[in-house]
Amino acid sequence: MSATPVTAPASTAVDRLHFPPGFLWGAATAAYQVEGAAAEDGRTPSIWDTFSHTPGKVVNGDTGDIACDHYRRYRTDVTLMSHLGLQAYRFSLSWPRVQPGGRGPANPAGLDFYRRLVDELLGAGIQPVATLYHWDLPQAREDAGGWTVRETAERFGEYAALVADALGDRVALWTTLNEPWCSAFLGYGSGVHAPGRTDPALALRAAHHLNLAHGRATAALRAALPAHAQVAVTLNLHQVRALTSGPADLDAARRIDAVGNRIFTGPMLSGGYPADLLADTAHLVDWNSLVKPGDEAAIGAPIDLLGINYYTPTVVSAPTPHATAANHAHGESPHSPWPGSEYVNFHLPQGDTTDMGWAIDPTGLYDLLMATSRAHPGLPLAITENGGAFPDIPTADGQIHDHDRIDYLHRHLAAVHQAIADGADVRGYFLWSLLDNFEWAYGYEKRFGAVHVDYATQLRTPKASARWYARVIGANAIPGL
């Protein structure tokens, strides 16, 4: 941690964009990306342990074995959060740390870590926001079929009950799944994420079982939590744009919206799977046998909040026979993460990009918030991830002057502010990420953190963006653009 605490002095700006009273400001991480301690206190391997230890799967052969050592350094990290003025911390629990093997009784040592973390947060006046699943499926569950089999959804409901029983008296906001699209279609379709399988039919089966897992976990949480607790799910909804207004390009956008968004929002929020998705994918999966009676009702149990993760828009045009199957925003692969729409063409929007090669376009966030609000009126929203990866090269004095990240955050927060002004019920914003961390298949090459981590020494150094974000939180406002 930096020797100099980060403070949040009052802004002197006259022209500021104020957020509503009670707007929740936070930051987010995920268990496998920050915790380390991969084999300690009873934790068993997850699919990401296996995947990252498989040669050629992760840049430089990096793994999450140590990551940010958050498992040992969580008190230091909570102190950092306090200095930043964070009001909430969104973290995920490691399923194989809590329930080794993905079934059976809880591991007391695993649950105790999260009890200590939650107590530390509450002691610092920071609201804990718990995510049950951020991609680290126990390897034993994958060996039994993973998300391609129904049993995993049933076991997930049991895991949710264990966690709610342990932490339900202290955690008031819960998220069932983080980005199930990535789990299903990058994990079982394109294979660029764990477990690295490349079967379009299995990817669709995985999507349904993730939906069902959300339903089972929602029921388990409702049964165990006090009445005031809130249940949410976080989706990386794609802001899909057609390259032109031509009918073929518009249909390409419809197809990607179906398998990118409505495969989840349909059963979760609108009563069932959309007919066009079923038609687009009927040659790959028998939906009538996959979706059992009562499944859609279970998946559609009411939630209190929808979390939205946004980084960049998705621009598509009509399929062509020789279109690349890869969508480079999600990693290079000869296998498509878009079952039934493999030959839709993807285009990189014009303009500046982040270190991930993702276009910087805050209008996509505004459009997404407005479209979601119109589609699901009365459902509160929160930005549960938003941020940018940049090179972040320390200067001679060890400081990181990441003005490109400040500009990114400023413009995206202005888009959120405009969406609220135009009627979107957005309740909070969680910066991705609190810390530089293990960025999945990109290893440690990409840095999203507001706090720089020297992986060799584990020294934490708040970047200029951290100090800027602290001022935003303190003022509940951003400077006008």
Q: Which residues are catalytic?
A: 179, 385
Classify burial at 115, counting beta carbons within 10 Å of its beta carbon; exposed 0-12, middle 13-18, buried 19 or more. middle
Looking only at the bridges linking them, the beta strands covering 451-454 and 345-347 are unpaired
How many Å apart are CA 400 and CA 452, to the nearest integer? Answer: 8
How many Å apart are CA 444 and CA 438, to the nearest integer? Answer: 5
CA dihedral 105, 110, 113, 119 (to 10 degrees): -20
Q: How many residues does the chain have?
A: 481
Half-sphere exposure of 323 (CA within 13 A, CB side): 20
Neighbours of 151 (CB within 10 A): 14
Exposure b/e, 191-230, CB count within 10 A at least 16 = b: bbbbbbbbbbbbbbbbbbbbbbbbbbbbbbbeebbeeebb
Classify burial at 340, counting beta carbons within 10 Å of its beta carbon; exposed 0-12, middle 13-18, buried 19 or more. buried
Do 285 and 204 touch, CB atoms closer than 8 A?
A: yes
How many Å apart are CA 263 and CA 257, to the nearest integer? Answer: 9
As given in the structure block, the two tokens for residue 389 are 């990866």
User: Which alpha helices (DSSP H) does 39-149 contain, by range?
Assistant: 47-52, 70-84, 95-98, 108-123, 139-143
Per the listing, tokens 């960049």 go with: 312
